[in-house]
Amino acid sequence: MADPYMQRIEGLNLTIERATERTPDKSKFHVFYNGELFGSHKKLAAAQALFKKLRDESGWKPTPREELPPGEMLARERELQQRTAYMEYWSQAHRFRGGGRPKRK
């Protein structure tokens, strides 16, 4: 039995599925567009080629990324670095603590 797989684009009813409830063959990759089966492939690369072709023919464009002012970008980066340092410190803290019960021999 194959592991379930799904690749989709938000805002466009286009998916690649394997081993889901609507796939006829659980071992192949199936390309669905607007609920209609457009192709079944043994290899993921072939299914992705059809997926890209249908995506390009539909005229779909990704949503533009949010542009942040430089000050906001720096603040977010600083916060990320602080969180990373905090997590790194506490992930290593157990190595430096002393005391406790002596080790058994």
Question: For residue range 85-98, what is the model confidence (pLDDT) as tens digits?
Answer: 999 888 887 766 66
19 within domain boundaries: yes
96 within domain boundaries: no
Q: For a pLDDT cut of 70, what percent of the chain falls above it? A: 90
pLDDT at 104 over 70: yes
14 within domain boundaries: yes
What does the DSSP 8-state code read for residue 19? S
1 pLDDT band, cuts 50/70/90, is low
Q: Where are the alpha helices (DSSP H) in the chain?
A: 44-58, 70-92
pLDDT at 82 over 70: yes
Host domain of residue 44: 5-58
Contact call for residues 42 and 26 (beta carbons, < 8 A):
no
70 within domain boundaries: no
pLDDT in tens, 20-38: 999 999 999 999 999 999 9
pLDDT in tens, 53-79: 999 999 999 888 888 999 999 999 999
Provide the domain count of the chain: 1
Nearest residue to 27 via CA among 47, 51, 54: 47
pLDDT at 100 over 70: no
pTM for the model? 0.62
What does the DSSP 8-state code read for residue 20? S
What pLDDT is stored for residue 74 in this prediction? 95
